[in-house]
C-alpha cells in the first residue's frame, strides 16, 4: 500500500499526515511486544531523559532537514 492508493490523503498537510501516521503506528503497537532487557533499559533511559528535559523534541522541519542530509 502506498499514499497513491489513498488519493484523498494527499490533500492533507504534512502536519496532518504526520499526525495520522502517528495514530496508525500507535494503533498497531502492543505494549507486550518483546524487547530484550538491554533494549528496554535504553528505552527507559531515553524516556526518563525526555521527561526530565535532558532531551527535547525537534520541529518537523528540523527532522526533515536532518533526514535530507546525505
The helix, strand and coil proportions of the chain, stated in percent and rounded to the nearest 5, come to: 65, 0, 35
Q: Dump pLDDT digits (tens) for 6-65.
A: 999 989 998 899 999 888 888 877 667 778 899 989 989 999 999 999 998 899 999 999
Residue with cell 518537523: 60
Q: What pLDDT is attached to residue 28?
A: 76
pLDDT above 90 (res 2): no
| Cα–Cα distance measured from residue 65 to residue 61, given in angstroms and rounded to the nearest whole number | 6
Instruction: Give pTM, 2 decimals.
Output: 0.43
Residues 6+ apart with CB under 8 A from 9: 3, 17, 20
pLDDT given for residue 12 in this prediction: 92
Amino acid at each position: 500500500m502506498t499514499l497513491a492508493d489513498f488519493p484523498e490523503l494527499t490533500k492533507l498537510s504534512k502536519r496532518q499526515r504526520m499526525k495520522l501516521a502517528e495514530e496508525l503506528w500507535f494503533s498497531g503497537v502492543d505494549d507486550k511486544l518483546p524487547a530484550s532487557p538491554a533494549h528496554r533499559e535504553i528505552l527507559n533511559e531515553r524516556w526518563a531523559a525526555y521527561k526530565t528535559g535532558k532531551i527535547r523534541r525537534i520541529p518537523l522541519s528540523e527532522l526533515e532537514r536532518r533526514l535530507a542530509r546525505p
